[in-house]
Amino acid sequence: MIEEDLEIAIKVVVVGNGAVGKSSMIQRYCRNIFTKDYKKTIGVDFLEKRLNIDGEDILLMLWDTAGQEEFDALTKAYYRGAQACVIAYSTTDRDSFEAVETWRKKVEEEVGPDIPTCLIQNKIDLIDDAVMTQEEAEGLAKRLKMRFYRTSVKEDLNVNDVFQYLTQQHLKKIKKEAQRVEDEPQPARQIGVFNTSGTSTAKDNNQANRNDTITLQPNKSRAKKRPAFLSNCTIL
């Protein structure tokens, strides 16, 4: 298989308190379905979504993690290897909003701070019942340096934009790293001293390091037998 045919796989973890709409968001994005019935995620759930961005075939692997503390030890293991992250809270749940920084730290402990991350205020269709102000929400996103989206899984508002953004950011990161490797100067090759007599000196080695030359020192007994017409030849 040639490199151009390879599919880029991106692992995305979706975290946040229980009942903020994480499972519903993934179901909406991957299957375009929505249900009002709440079913607590036990441990983790997993769905895939294929898409094409700028000619690149992408496989998004979306990991829906439980928000309840009793599953914490289990779900943290699934953060490892994540290449993008969604942190979600609910418009009508103040505790989920105040837990955002805790969720951020949990993910960073496993994967570091450098993966693309979005902050999601879900259930924006219930804005009349909001328990945080717009200024608070935007201030939190700015302080944590995360892209901020207000979403409604029920109304299918901004859900696609969230995962589109994360995918594009990861692709930019891949290209940037590839360019950095390509631009790195290759180390100069050191050429050592080859001594057929089996001995070498510090002087020989220093001379080789300075001039990158190969010095051939023939066996004395062979040199005596060397034809006269070869005595002035230079080995290149």
pLDDT score, position 115: 95
| Per-residue pLDDT at 36 | 75
Residues 64-118: pLDDT tens digits? 887 555 556 666 788 889 999 999 999 999 999 999 999 999 999 999 999 999 9
For 230, phi and psi rounded to 5 degrees? Answer: -100, -5
In this structure, how many other beta carbons lie within 10 angstroms of the beta carbon of residue 54? 8
Q: How far apart are CA 25 and CA 133, in angstroms?
A: 23
**Residue 218: its pLDDT value, please?**
53
Residue of 175, 163, 160, 27 whose CA lies nearest to 86: 163
pTM exceeding the 0.85 threshold for the entire prediction: no
Taking the domains of the chain in order of start, what are their residue ranges? 3-183, 188-236
Predicted confidence at residue 64, as pLDDT, reads: 87
What pLDDT sits at residue 179? 87
Cα-Cα end-to-end distance for the chain: 42
For domain 3-183, say whether CATH 1.10.940.10 is its number.
Answer: no
What pLDDT does 129 receive?
97
Locate 53 and state its tokens. 């961005």
Q: What is the full per-residue pLDDT of the chain (236 aa) written as tens digits?
A: 334 456 899 999 999 998 999 999 999 999 999 977 656 554 567 899 999 988 889 999 999 887 555 556 666 788 889 999 999 999 999 999 999 999 999 999 999 999 999 999 999 999 999 999 999 999 999 999 999 999 999 999 999 999 999 999 999 999 998 888 888 776 655 545 445 445 555 455 554 444 444 444 555 554 455 554 444 444 44
